[in-house]
């Protein structure tokens, strides 16, 4: 699939079919996340891949009752270790979150290329998830996503984006 078509037609998918993707498809998507860049190649990202039905159901209240999270055959919990690395000034504090976000973006685009839907979940209770999974103190959750074949064809053109002239400032902020 053409790269720009992948980027253009990746949508947040909130309705999923029950059938799982073949393991080799999931493996390719996970590999796309693994090979994402990170600051100084420190690779703070770790993914918890959940297929167990009961575990998926338990995630819903921790995602502020977004029930569709458990509707996909697989849910991925993207975690990051605090790399305690000051990349310089204020970005030092956000380095891990940036790195995990890049990996998750690779994952969502690779999923789209495979015909799989995802939905970035940023509304969740980090403390509850940390306790549930027994994450180490210096590891936090940055995002979750269900992943699976969508119901229907949600891979439409993007809507509601600001125009390029507003998005891009050439040469200076103006
Ligand atoms: C950081 C982030 C957090 C998000 N959190 C949620 C969420 O908790 N629940 C949800 O249904 N969608 C969530 N979304 C999806 C956005 O609502 C969606 O990406 C946006 O409306 C654009 O739609 P599209 O992804 O279909 O292009 C999140 C997206 C991002 C990037």
CATH of the domain at 138: 3.40.109.10
* Residue 166 within any structural domain of the chain: no
Ligand 1 atom 22: residue of nearest CA = 12
Indicate if the pLDDT at residue 150 is higher than 70. yes
* Residue 162 within any structural domain of the chain: no
**Given this model, what pLDDT does residue 129 score?**
98
* Residue 168 within any structural domain of the chain: no
**Given this model, what pLDDT does residue 88 score?**
67
Nearest to 130 by CA among 138, 122, 120: 138
Q: What is the mean pLDDT of residues 127-137?
A: 98
Calculate how far, in angstroms, residue 66's C-alpha sits from the geometric centre of ligand 1. 12
Give the C-alpha separation, 145 to 25, whole Å: 16
* Residue 119 within any structural domain of the chain: yes
**Given this model, what pLDDT does residue 167 score?**
97
* Residue 95 within any structural domain of the chain: yes
Calculate how far, in angstroms, residue 120's C-alpha sits from the geometric centre of ligand 1. 5
Contact 126, 140 (CB under 8 A): yes
* Residue 161 within any structural domain of the chain: no
**Given this model, what pLDDT does residue 87 score?**
62
Q: What's the number of domains the chain is made of?
A: 1
Contact 134, 163 (CB under 8 A): no
Of 103, 119, 159, the one to substitute when testing ligand 1's pocket (max ligand atoms within 8 A of C-beta) is 119
143 or 84: whose pLDDT is higher?
143
Indicate if the pLDDT at residue 85 is higher than 70. no
Q: What is the mean pLDDT of residues 48-53?
A: 98
Q: What is the mean pLDDT of residues 20-45?
A: 96
20 or 162: whose pLDDT is higher?
162
53: containing domain: 3-151
Q: How far is CA 32 from the centre of its chain?
A: 12
Indicate if the pLDDT at residue 86 is higher than 70. no
**Given this model, what pLDDT does residue 170 score?**
97
Indicate if the pLDDT at residue 159 is higher than 70. yes
- Of the given ranges (12-26, 32-46, 78-92), which has the lowest mean pLDDT? 78-92
Give the C-alpha separation, 167 to 6, whole Å: 21
Q: What is the largest CA-CA distance in the chain?
A: 53
* Residue 50 within any structural domain of the chain: yes
Return the ligand 1 atom nearest residue 158 CA: 27
Sign of CA dihedral 74, 70, 18, 151: negative
**Given this model, what pLDDT does residue 74 score?**
98
Give the C-alpha separation, 144 to 52, whole Å: 15
Identify the band that residue 28 occupies on the pLDDT scale cut at 50, 70 and 90.
very high
The answer to whether the CB of 67 is under 6 A from ligand 1 is no
* Residue 77 within any structural domain of the chain: yes
Give the C-alpha separation, 73 to 149, whole Å: 9
């Amino acid at each position: 699939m053409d790269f720009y078509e992948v980027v253009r037609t990746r949508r947040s998918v909130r309705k999923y079919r029950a059938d799982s993707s073949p393991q080799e498809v999931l493996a390719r998507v996970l590999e796309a996340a693994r090979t994402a860049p990170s600051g100084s190649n420190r690779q703070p990202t770790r993914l918890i891949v959940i297929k167990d039905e009961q575990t998926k159901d338990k995630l819903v209240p921790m995602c502020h009752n977004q029930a569709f999270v458990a509707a996909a055959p697989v849910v991925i919990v993207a975690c990051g270790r605090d790399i305690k690395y000051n990349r310089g000034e204020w970005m030092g504090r956000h380095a891990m979150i940036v790195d995990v976000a890049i990996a998750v973006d690779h994952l969502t685009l690779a999923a789209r290329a495979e015909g799989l839907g995802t939905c970035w979940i940023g509304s969740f209770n980090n403390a509850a998830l940390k306790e549930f999974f027994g994450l180490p103190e210096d590891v936090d959750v940055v995002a979750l996503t269900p992943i699976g074949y969508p119901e229907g064809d949600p891979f439409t053109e993007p809507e509601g984006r600001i125009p390029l002239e507003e998005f891009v400032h050439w040469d200076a902020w103006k």
